[in-house]
Structure 1
Amino acid sequence: MNKAINLLKSLGYSYFITIFLILIYNLFLTYTPLKSSSISFVTSSIITIGAACAGFYMAYKNSSKGFLYGMLSGALYIFFIIIIYFLIQDNFKFEGNMIYKILLDIIAGGIGGIIGVNMKKD
């Protein structure tokens, strides 16, 4: 039960970080001469950072199997992002580059998990 709570907390914290970073980026888009052509790259980077944060927190709290727990939390993180995107977007199409992004986010979660399990101080 404790691992499930840690998983939900890791997802919650990572979504909070994602929303915060997107809001910061939106402020930069609004008040600076930053080009809107960077939206795709920056949002993909922010989502990858969010997946890594989910993996980090999950592995940090569980203190073992960092890569496995990180990949699990990264996979759930991106799965819920896709579900939300599917519900919001009217003409949602699953494209080939989405598989690349999904794998990248799962691996980012695993890397975050490795870092998180190694940051744990006893």
Structure 2
Amino acid sequence: MANAKYYEGKERMPRLIYFRSIGRALIITVILMLIIAAIITYTSVSDSVMPLITSVIMVISIAYSGLLSATKIRKHGLMHGFITGAIYIMLLLFLSWVLARDFSINRFTIIKAIMGVISGGVGGMIGVNLK
């Protein structure tokens, strides 16, 4: 019985770590997006750079999320980073589906999703190797 409780508690811990790290990454994403929106609004920067900037912000945020989760778990950084990246991407896709009227999944969406999962894995590998 004691082993079952230990195993059950160990299974729940990564989920909490995943959601905390994704929450922090989403906060960073929102802050960076607000900064970029202010820069585009109050300067002569073109709106055409927005897709590139959003992709870079997404990759940085997901890598940070993977780094945070792997730093806490301390093993299997690539796997935990991939999982964190996949959850982040699924959350973004769901929010886009709910909030955007013209949302559709196309090849650019799939490429961004793959980039997100890979950046989570890279962040996880870096996070597990930090001391």
TM-score, scaled to structure 2: 0.88
Aligned-partner Cα distance in 1 for 2:92–2:69: 18
Q: Does 1:34 align with 2:79?
A: no
**Alignment RMSD:** 0.9
Q: Does 1:25 align with 2:36?
A: yes
Q: Which runs of 5+ in 2 are unaligned?
A: 1-11
Write the deviation string for residues 20-66 of structure 1: whole angstroms up to 9, x where unpaired.
Answer: 11011111112221111101110111111111111011101000000
Comparing 110-119 with 23-32, which one deviates more in the overlay? 23-32
Structure 2 counterpart of 1:52: 63
Q: Which runs of 5+ in 1 are unaligned?
A: none
- 1:66 is aligned, of 52, 61, 77, to 77
TM-superposed deviation, 1:91: 2.5
- 1:43 is aligned, of 32, 51, 54, to 54
Equivalent residue letter for 2:65: A
Aligned-partner Cα distance in 2 for 1:5–1:94: 29
- 2:16 is aligned, of 5, 23, 31, to 5
- Structure 1 runs of 4+ with >3 Å offset: none
Structure 2 counterparts to residues 69-108 of structure 1, below 5 A = 69-108=80-119
Equivalent residue letter for 2:18: L
Tell which structure's C-alpha radius of gyration is larger: 2
Percent identity (aligned): 32
TM-score, scaled to structure 1: 0.94
TM-superposed deviation, 1:9: 0.3
Partner of 1:84, secondary structure, is: helix
